[in-house]
A and B are shown apart, each in its own frame.
Chain A
Amino acid sequence: QSVLTQPPSASGTPGQRVTISCSGSSSNIGSNTVNWYQQLPGTAPKLLIYSNNQRPSGVPDRFSGSKSGTSASLAISGLQSEDEAVYYCAAWDDSLNGSGVFGGGTKLTVL
């Protein structure tokens, strides 16, 4: 029952382009920026995209983010085996006293 809704799983073959969606509301995605994280098994999350579509240094340009209204998407082009991970969206939520909210995570499998 995460505040931000993501599909639990996604898959693609090497070289393919995949997208992962993140749906929220006017109090979170609709009024704040969206961030995306990649978590490899047994490791801490890594910032992949911040401020909707900005890549930190070192993140390949195969990863891109977009936002429209109360939804956001992460796109991965030229899929590679090392992209197999769990991906989370995150945003600030202005409701009540405000809090941080994450999506439930999407497990990406590279077939």
Chain B
Amino acid sequence: DGGITQSPKYLFRKEGQNVTLSCEQNLNHDAMYWYRQDPGQGLRLIYYSQIVNDFQKGDIAEGYSVSREKKESFPLTVTSAQKNPTAFYLCASSTPGQGLRETQYFGPGTRLLVL
């Protein structure tokens, strides 16, 4: 089955700790995205990558880092510089330029909580 997987489902972070959220897709999509969702709000873009070994900052990139070494994978690291990391993190992927197939598909999400 093609799809996007995220792990873990729940993640607990201690003060000053860096944590990494995993996102993998087997849809052969070129573009991948990380969004953050706070309770009762819409999604905000953290980082995105249109191609392997390249990525751009989104609207709220401070305190986060990413890598895109493989087409299938786009991990997100929440660093200790992110002072308010508690949120629901969603990874998405798409293949731009494919018309109706251009929809961004979302993974199941990771809920990050600070201890």
Q: Is chain B found bound to chain A in the same assembly?
A: no
